Structure 1
């Protein structure tokens, strides 16, 4: 019996910020080889010795400068099947509520 392996080496986060009594979703426009010019939520890998929650806080700070937020597990998972490598990638998704006074910066990655 063949088994499709599951890899779980990263995290994802959807951030919400209330502005004028309306919640807005923060999306980032990617410039990577695989996701060039694609708008998506925050995501990244879990580094050695990190827990998923530590990784999500680090990735949010690195990609947006946001450090003031309330973060929750969403009970959802980002799931992608790679037909070329025959595995399923799965990542826990977190939801963050950004504090109103928290500013956001955008860092261009190359």
Structure 2
């Protein structure tokens, strides 16, 4: 996907996901947790955040995030929601604004995670812990909306993708 905003092209070549563990709605409160991964490698190594990954040729964003969640965590998402948000940032080497749609999925409780080569640590965090831990400003800002729309209350039916 591409476009232009003034003289800066727009590009969407990656996706992100929040995995929430525990109850949602009025029961979620202080017991729900969100999965944080710490990146390994040269690109943003040591940075904490959501699950992210590239959209491969021929994939839809939904197909890409389902694959990335499974590859990066070993978790098979059985339901998927749109957060209605994108992480947006400027990528200087290519002079583009990158847009990453953010998705949400659930697991009943914090589970063990099988990390791939892209991450070297994981944590199940409260909202406050995730805000303090996350390295990327766009993801920190998205946390409040995700928590409000998926933990403090049940997600609206129109957000369900699968």
TM > 0.5: yes
**Contact (CA 8 Å) 1:72, 1:94: kept in 2 or not?**
yes
Q: 2:8 aligned with 1:4, yes or no?
A: yes
- Which of these residues, 73, 83, 86, is aligned with residue 64 of structure 1? 73
Q: Which protein is richer in strand relative to its size?
A: 1
CA distance in 2, matches of 1:107, 1:15: 16
Q: Structure 2 matches for 1:1-110, cutoff 5 A? A: 3-18=7-22, 22-100=31-109, 103-109=112-118
Work out the CA distance in 2 between the residues paired with 1:73 and 1:96: 9
* Structure 2: segments with no counterpart, 5+ residues: 1-5, 120-162
CA contact (8 A) 1:26 1:41 kept: yes
Q: How many corresponding residue pairs?
A: 108
8 Å contact from structure 2 (residues 70, 76) kept in 1: yes
Displacement of 1:68 after TM fit?
4.1
Distance in 1 between the 2:93 and 2:69 partners?
Answer: 30
Q: Could you tell me how far apart the structure 1 residues matched to 2:104 and 2:69 are?
A: 11
| TM-score of the two chains, using structure 1 as the length reference | 0.85
2: CA distance, partners of 1:102 / 1:84 = 38
Structure that is richer in helix per residue: 2
Are the equivalent residues in 1 in contact too, given 2:22–2:110 (CA < 8 A)? no
Deviations 1:8-36 (A, max 9, x none): 011000110118x6111101110121211
